[in-house]
Amino acid sequence: MRHAVGEAALALRTGDVPVGAVVLAPDGAVLGRGRNEREATGDPTAHAEVVAIRAAARAVGEWRLSGCTLVVTLEPCTMCAGAIVLARLERVVYGAVDDKAGAAGSLWDVVRDRRLNHRPEVVPGVLAEECGRLLTDFFRGPGREPPSRPGARPDTDFGTRPPVG
């Protein structure tokens, strides 16, 4: 998780939300690294998990990442959960819970949906406080405006509580 936290901190340089990810081989070697790059690249799919999965697939020379572990600082969203399933990752380890968009146990549980042909193990809450603090500090920082939608809540509370389920 420390590698993923380091990647998250690098995302701050480009004004991206500080989320970082690494894909580990079965022996623990880092196969791919990623951080949010949506602002840096203008690519809406450039989430840390997708960037890391793409890098790992290039490193192993194929799309199947069987036996590998994705470590990410924030609970994956539905897009990233889909990529995790499709890449056949064996395990997902994440830090902060995302009550607003999480798809690995909090809002949704895409990665463990019994209707899918692959369901990775999920290990939530690793260094959750540290991971959540990076995000909370970013969203409460200078220049951040509160949501304008009536009843919307600010993107400032990234939890350490366990996901539902």
Contact 101, 78 (CB under 8 A): yes
Q: What is the DSSP letter of 104?
A: B
Q: Is 3 annotated as a binding residue?
A: no
Q: Is residue 49 annotated as part of the catalytic site, yes or no?
A: yes
CA 49 to chain centre: 5
Please list the pLDDT of the chain residue by residue as tens digits (165 residues).
999 999 999 999 999 999 999 999 999 999 999 999 999 999 999 999 999 999 999 999 999 999 999 999 999 999 999 999 999 999 999 999 999 999 999 999 999 999 999 999 999 999 999 999 999 999 998 765 544 444 444 444 565 555 544
Query: Which residue in 7, 37, 39, 49 is the catalytic one?
Result: 49
Q: Tell me, what's the pLDDT at 141?
A: 83
CB atoms within 10 A of CB 28: 7
Burial of 10 per CB tally in 10 Å (0-12, 13-18, 19+) = middle
Instruction: Classify domain 1-135 by CATH number.
Output: 3.40.140.10
Indicate the domain borders of the chain.
Answer: 1-135
Q: Is 77 annotated as a binding residue?
A: yes
Q: Tell me, what's the pLDDT at 114?
A: 94
Q: Is 47 annotated as a binding residue?
A: yes
